[in-house]
Amino acid sequence: MSDHFVRTTHAPAKPAPRIQIGWVRWARENLFSSLLNSLLTVIAVVLLVVMLPPFLDWAFFSAVFSAVDGSACRVDGAGACWAFVEAKFGQFLFGRYPDAEKWRVVLTLILGIAGLAPLLIPNRLPRQWLVAYLLVPFPILAFVLLSGGFFGLEKVETSDWGGLMVTLVVALTGIAASLPLGVLLALGRRSEMPVIRMFCVIFIEFWRGVPLITVLFMSSVMLPLFLPEGMSFDKLLRALIGVALFSSAYMAEVVRGGLAAVPAGQYEAGKALGLTYWQSMNRIVLPQALTTVIPGIVNNFIGLFKDTTLVLVIGLFDLLGIVQSNSTDPTWLSPQTATTGYVFAAFVFWIFCFGMSRYSVFMERRLEAGAQR
Amino acid sequence: MDNRLLPAGAALVVGLVAGFLLYPSFGDTATDTPNVDASDGAEPTPAAPASLPVVENRSTLDLVRERGYVRCGVSQGLPGFSNPNDSGDWSGIDVDICRAVAAAVFGDAGKSRFTPLSAKERFTALQSGEIDVLTRNTTWSLTRDTALGLDFVGVNYYDGQGFMVRKELGVKSVMELDGAVVCTNTGTTTELNVADFFRSNGLAYSIVAFEKSDEVVAAYDAGRCDAFTTDASGLYSERLKLADLNDHVVLPEIISKEPLGPAVRQGDDQWADIVRWSLFAMVEAEELGITSENARDMKTSQNPPVRRLLGVEGAFGQNLGIPNDWAFKIITQVGNYGQSFERGVGENTPLGIPRGLNALWTDGGLQYSPPVR
């Protein structure tokens, strides 16, 4: 008989302490990991409890969802006047674009997405052709379709354009023009040719030195006085040119940051291989430089997208402008009308900007994975 | 990032060139650059001196006729004066003036286009020929009439600074506001007007001023002041933003003069006459009892002023350079002044502005038309 005991099986594991599992552990790690974090959690919860019910009440429970005019929203205690957004929804999207011609805007959008989507989603389609399509035939097509006056299409004055459509036209023109122009300006600023370098420096510093609102005012208030009588550029066109030049100067500085981050050895390698300037820029330097500054580029795009609301000051109605001007309609005037309109506009802007920022995160991850391979 | 930026860059340059070739027809440049035949002496127009800011020596009427529509500058949204309605069309009493001019010139009120203008842009837009008539709630003052190269042709709304108080105060006149706290905007003439008025009447007061009118309304609504002051037309539209609009009353006194009226470029007297008499025709029609409904029957009237106004007798349109049934078209398509007023801002609209100073002279107001004779 032996008096010793050898255990041949494991003792059943004890359950983990309760504070180490489930939601308790999650809360301890994420919400109460330190005194400061606990305090912040409590404050956040209190704020939510205080603010969320009134907001939900305003936005949903007391809100007016359908009405023929603003009288229902003028009732004491009425919440958001969504009926206003509903009644004006067409205008918020298209401005005063004639109903019968709205298919042209939709078609333009489809043509644009058809060109852009394959570029944004990784695939094996010939990218240079897509870029070329977006830069030449597409703007011409978009111009013909939106403005009309050719091929039997009815002419639609730009003063009738408005809403989300103008926001997208201004933002996309600025984005599409600023990237190539910005790259050229950034290269020019680092060029060894003094004339080109000076020109780029002056151009960039000039446009960076003036606020966008000044540029827009100059284009709409001063420019017509300098031009000969009877010669007038379209107001939207003036704003588009101003926005494009302005944003390209900012883009140039972002790209220059990327160029500076590429090690000198890469430039020298290009020269050693006997590549021309453009070959080495195209194949060696720019792909690395642009990848580095994707967050900066997207940041610029988002900023530009939101800056488009400034066209309001020169009487162009972007999404925010058309919301504001429609909230002066006496049939809909009420304590809640303007607020509801602003909340709607903020939501639409948020969707677009959040979408862009998520896309940039996706691109960064993908390119990072490529670099590590 | 793709390594073929070169084709994209080249495509951009081609695109920009193509864009500039196309763009002159963007907007309305192509249709109104009549400089080619400007020196053609065969044009028997009552031309303005060349030094004045009128497009060469073509009269505005000729330019408007050639273009096919009247271009008017309106606000970016002022309830009842010029604001977009549910279908996206502009409506309001300022808009009606423009429609009346179009009806007088073309016999079709629909041949009018509206350019929304910010307060800063409005005069430039008129001076540079971007618009033909400024119908944008603009106060007629000596400085504006003389220094800005424009002519005011009449008054379509007599505005002035008024006061709003809570009904529960039981106040019936501004004279009872001794010791009141008054809410207003900072740095505007409204503040000075209040100071002048209260001091000259020996009343005590204190002012609570805010930067934005929304803040002023909120402060008044929250009970921080006894009275809220701004232009009377503004009081009625701001009243709709209050929690319970029936608890508030606009006092009858008006303490400043703000005559709002249409303006045209200085130096084209014929065009100024057309706009002036379009407005007068609406006032005269109301005085003679002609409405859009009964105008057709009134043509058989034996009353000489009616017959003259409706173009049955005489050739008054010809003197203006427009068809003889000009006033008839205005009245049938836009209505008389009273109809326009009631439709835009009158007692049956949510604004509910009483006629007050804008009643006909026969009813104790100021609206008075010289005779059509």
Q: Which domains does chain A have, with CATH numbers?
A: 82-97+156-372 (1.10.3720.10)
pLDDT at position A230 is 59
Per residue in B31-80, pLDDT (tens digit) is: 333 333 333 333 333 333 334 444 456 789 999 999 899 999 998 888 89
* Interface touch B115/A315, C-beta < 8 Å: yes
Of B5, B53, B78, the CB nearest to A286: B5
Residues 206..265 of A with a Cβ closer than 8 Å to B: which? 217, 220-222, 224-225, 227-237
CA distance A148 to A247: 28
Measured CA to CA, the distance from residue A49 to residue B90 in angstroms comes to 44
What's the rounded mean pLDDT across residues A7-34? 83
Average pLDDT, chain A: 85
Residues B109-120, mean pLDDT to the nearest whole number: 86
**Confidence category of residue B222, pLDDT binned at 50, 70, 90:** confident
Mean pLDDT of B258-273: 92
User: Contact B208/B181 with Cβ under 8 angstroms?
Assistant: yes
Handedness of CA A161, A164, A170, A176 (dihedral sign): negative
CA distances from A302 to A54, A173, A296, B1, B344 (A): 31, 13, 10, 20, 40
Of B243, B259, B79, the residue nearest B161 (C-alpha): B259
pLDDT score of A256 more than 80: yes
Asked whether the domain spanning B161-256 has the same topology as the one spanning B60-158+259-363, the reply is yes
Architecture of domain B161-256: 3-Layer(aba) Sandwich (3.40)
Cβ <8 Å between A224 and B15: no
Q: A331 in contact with B at a CB cutoff of 8 Å?
A: yes
Q: Any chain A CB within 8 A of the CB of B11?
A: yes
Contact A88 B86 (CB under 8 A): yes
B23–A contact, CB cutoff 8 A = yes
Q: Searching chain B, which residue's CA lies closest to the CA of residue A331?
A: B350
- Residue partners of B28: CB distance under 8 A and separation at least 6: A157, A232, A234, B67
- Between A203-207, B186-190, B235-239, the lowest mean confidence (pLDDT) is in B186-190
Q: Over 90: is that where the pLDDT of A137 sits? A: no
Check if the interface score ipTM surpasses 0.85: no
Surface of B (142-171) touching A: CB under 8 A: none
Distance from A283 to chain B by nearest Cα, in Å? Answer: 5
Candidates B13, B74, B214, B240: best to mutate against A (most CBs of A within 10 A) is B240
The answer to whether A328 contacts B237, with C-beta atoms less than 8 Å apart, is: yes
Question: Band of the pLDDT at B213, cuts 50, 70, 90?
Answer: confident
Is residue B267 left, alpha or beta, with left meaning phi > 0 and alpha meaning psi from -120 to 50?
left
pLDDT of residue B306: 93
Is the CB of residue B103 less than 8 Å from the CB of residue B330?
yes
Residue A150: which residues within 8 A CB-CB, separation 6 or more?
A144
**Residue A253's pLDDT is what?**
92
Return the pLDDT at B19: 46
- Mean pLDDT of the B169-188 span: 85
On whether the CB atoms of residues A159 and A239 are closer than 8 A, the answer is no
So what CATH class is B60-158+259-363? alpha beta
Q: Is B121 close to A326, i.e. CB distance below 8 A?
A: no
Token pair, residue A77, equals 């205690």
Chain A residue at shortest CA distance from B130: A232
Phi, psi angles (nearest 5°) of residue B42: -70, -10
What's the start-to-end Cα distance of chain A, in Å?
64
Decide if A80 contacts A340 (C-beta within 8 A): yes
User: What pLDDT, in 10s, does the model give residues A281-329?
Assistant: 888 888 888 888 888 888 888 888 888 888 887 778 888 888 888 888 8
pLDDT of residue B275: 95
Q: How many CA atoms lie within 13 A of B341 on its CB side?
A: 22
* Among the listed residues B9, B7, B8, the one whose alpha carbon sits nearest the alpha carbon of residue A188: B9
Q: Where are the domains of chain B?
A: 60-158+259-363, 161-256
**CB contact (8 A) between residue B2 and residue A128:** yes
> Nearest-CA distance from A19 to chain B in Å?
48
With 0.80 as the threshold, say if the pTM is over it. no
Q: Are B252 and B230 in contact (CB under 8 A)?
A: no
